[in-house]
Amino acid sequence: MNRALRTLLLIAAALLNGCTATAQQKPESASTRLATAEAMFAERCKSAGVFIHRTAENVEGVFLLKVRPRNVDPDFDDQFQLNDPYGHDSGGDGYIETFVRGSFWANNKGSLSPGSPQYLGYRYVDAVDPKDGKRYRYTGRIDQPWLRDKRYGEWVREFVLDKTPAPNPASRYGVTYEDISTPAEREYWIAGSSLKVIDLKTNEIMAERIGYMMDGGQGNNSGGRKPWLSAADNACPEFAPQHGFTAQRRQTQAFVESVLKPKQEN
């Protein structure tokens, strides 16, 4: 075989391999992609649910082992960030505040419709401040700013979160969460979540909620659409039949209070 013929054959083989690779890399059609996502989501939902193994009564405080950060994905469209979009809730001090007694009523006074859930909250909440690595104790109170500043009306009431160094021991009961999504799941806009209540004295997992949700639009953000907010309408366990994202706030507190029953006022 002469050199010219060999060169032509090598070029032809390279072109053929290139065409094959291009064919293999051809993107899925929208319908095929959605069908794959729906099948994967249905399979994940088989392991989802609320699993309560033990409850505790008269609990005064909880230890938040992880505090949800604020504004990690403000547009709710980061496909691969493991920020637990299923467990989306308030962030920062707002997350801590949801667990503190009095905050629910202070923030919802006069706006609750009949049948709305009602949360008591705990007398204190412990959490580690990532800035210094120290544990602090958070409590709540109703402030009357007009006592200091007469520009406020006498009727104004504000819920205030107080933060002090936490005494020992910490609460026996811990709360933590984790994004359990895999890269393969996120490829199809599926997010997985684990929320746990732990007895820190025995290291026993008292309860766990495993949840998944999927964006049927597969990341479509046209017209200002927010994929992970839309995915909350397609979740297991379900948040709400419609506008599921509106039911996500205080979801962590709702689960925790079903396991750790807050001590009633004397």
Residue spans per domain, the chain: 35-262
pLDDT of residue 25: 59
- H or E element that contains 14: helix 3-24
Quote the tokens at residue 68. 């949800």
pLDDT at 20 over 50: no
Task: Give the chain's mean pLDDT.
Answer: 86
- List, in order, residues 6 or more apart from 177 with CB less than 8 Å away: 66, 68, 84, 87, 193, 194, 195, 196, 252
pLDDT at 64 over 90: yes
pLDDT of residue 120: 86
pLDDT of residue 147: 67
Which residue has better confidence, 38 or 153?
A: 38
pLDDT of residue 99: 95
Rounding to the nearest 10 degrees, give the CA dihedral for residues 85, 88, 92, 95.
Answer: -150
**125, 59 in Cβ contact below 8 A?**
no
pLDDT of residue 266: 59
pLDDT digits (tens, 9 = 90+) for 168-206: 999 999 999 999 999 999 999 999 999 999 999 999 999
pLDDT at 105 over 70: no
Closest by alpha carbon to 99, among 254, 266, 207?
Answer: 254
pLDDT at 110 over 60: no
- Cα–Cα distances in angstroms (integers) from residue 37 to residues 92, 190, 240, in the given order: 32, 8, 21
**Mean pLDDT throughout 59-82?**
94
The amino acid occupying position 240 is A
Q: How far apart are CA 84 and CA 221, in angstroms?
A: 19
For residue 78, the number of C-alpha atoms closer than 13 Å in the C-beta half-sphere is: 12
pLDDT of residue 107: 63
DSSP 53-69: ---EEEE-EEEESS-PP
Which residue has better confidence, 112 or 77?
A: 77
**Mean pLDDT throughout 24-52?**
91
pLDDT at 42 over 70: yes
Rounding to the nearest 10 degrees, give the CA dihedral for residues 18, 21, 22, 26.
Answer: 180
pLDDT at 58 over 80: yes
pLDDT of residue 149: 72
Q: Whole-model pTM?
A: 0.83
Closest by alpha carbon to 174, among 139, 105, 120, 128?
Answer: 128
Which residue has better confidence, 247 or 83?
A: 83
Tell me how far apart the terminal alpha carbons of the chain are, to the nearest angstrom. 99
**171, 198 in Cβ contact below 8 A?**
no
User: Which residues is 174 bridged to in the sheet?
Assistant: 63, 198
pLDDT at 239 over 50: yes
pLDDT of residue 261: 97
In eight-state DSSP terms, residue 95 is: H
- H or E element that contains 169: none
pLDDT of residue 118: 67
pLDDT of residue 21: 44
